[in-house]
């Protein structure tokens, strides 16, 4: 039978997820001054503050110890940030490749449509340029203004047909239920 001592040691050894988001993960650091808990950035700030306090009190050994703890979490955070940046660059590169493929496919479709439309239409006679011809006497020259609905002549309203009269409603007294 196992001793209770070995069981209690193994109880807290649950497998931790590897990788993941270290930047926002909460750590528990057992430093010389007790446990410090928080995200890597919070732990770095706490150890830097403890480092400054130890320097001001003249404790060079503890100051160096806190500085080393802060440096450890700084390296941990920097490595995690590099991994995040690398993943982001990979995703952006994949997105650029996909977008380039979509653009090429769209361009190919447009060229195919243009080729199909030019093959379907017979050769048309060239149209005269409307700017070259002088306006006819009954036409007004183009002033560049846009016609608004107020300027257009209003059509005459149509004459309505008279409505057929409605059928009279049966009275409540003449209903078959009222007769009973």
Taking the chain (180 residues) in runs of 10, the rounded mean pLDDT of each run is 56 56 78 82 93 94 93 92 93 95 94 84 60 56 72 73 81 56
- In this structure, the number of other CB atoms found within 10 A of the CB of residue 40 comes to 23
pTM of the complete model: 0.45
pLDDT score for 180: 47
pLDDT value of residue 129:
64
Closest alpha carbon to 69 in 26, 13, 28: 28
Rounded Cα–Cα distance for residues 97 and 105 (Å): 12
Q: Which residue has the tokens 């993941």?
A: 20
Query: What pLDDT does residue 22 have?
Result: 76
Collect all residues with Cβ–Cβ distance below 8 Å to 25 and sequence separation of at least 6: 39, 40
Q: How many residues does the chain have?
A: 180
Query: How much is the pLDDT for 23?
Result: 76
User: For the stretch 120-142, what's the b/e string if a residue is b when 16 or more beta carbons lie within 10 angstroms of its beta carbon?
Assistant: eeeeeeeeeeeeeeeeeeeeeee
d(C-alpha 123, C-alpha 127), whole Å: 12
């Amino acid at each position: 039978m196992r001793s209770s001592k070995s069981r209690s040691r193994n109880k807290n050894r649950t497998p931790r997820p590897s990788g993941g988001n270290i930047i926002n993960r909460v750590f528990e650091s057992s430093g010389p001054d007790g446990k410090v808990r928080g995200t890597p950035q919070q732990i770095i700030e706490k150890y830097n503050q403890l480092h400054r306090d130890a320097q001001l009190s003249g404790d060079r050994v503890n100051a160096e110890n806190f500085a080393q703890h802060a440096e450890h979490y700084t390296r941990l955070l920097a490595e995690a940030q590099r991994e995040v940046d690398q993943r982001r660059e990979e995703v952006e590169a994949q997105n650029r490749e996909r977008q380039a493929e979509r653009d090429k496919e769209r361009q190919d479709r447009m060229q195919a449509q243009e080729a199909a439309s030019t093959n379907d239409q017979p050769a048309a006679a060239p149209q005269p340029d409307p700017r070259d011809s002088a306006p006819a006497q009954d036409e007004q020259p183009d002033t560049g203004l846009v016609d608004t609905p107020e300027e257009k002549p209003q059509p005459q309203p149509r004459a309505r047909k008279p409505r057929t009269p409605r059928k009279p409603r049966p009275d409540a007294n003449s209903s078959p239920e009222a007769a009973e």
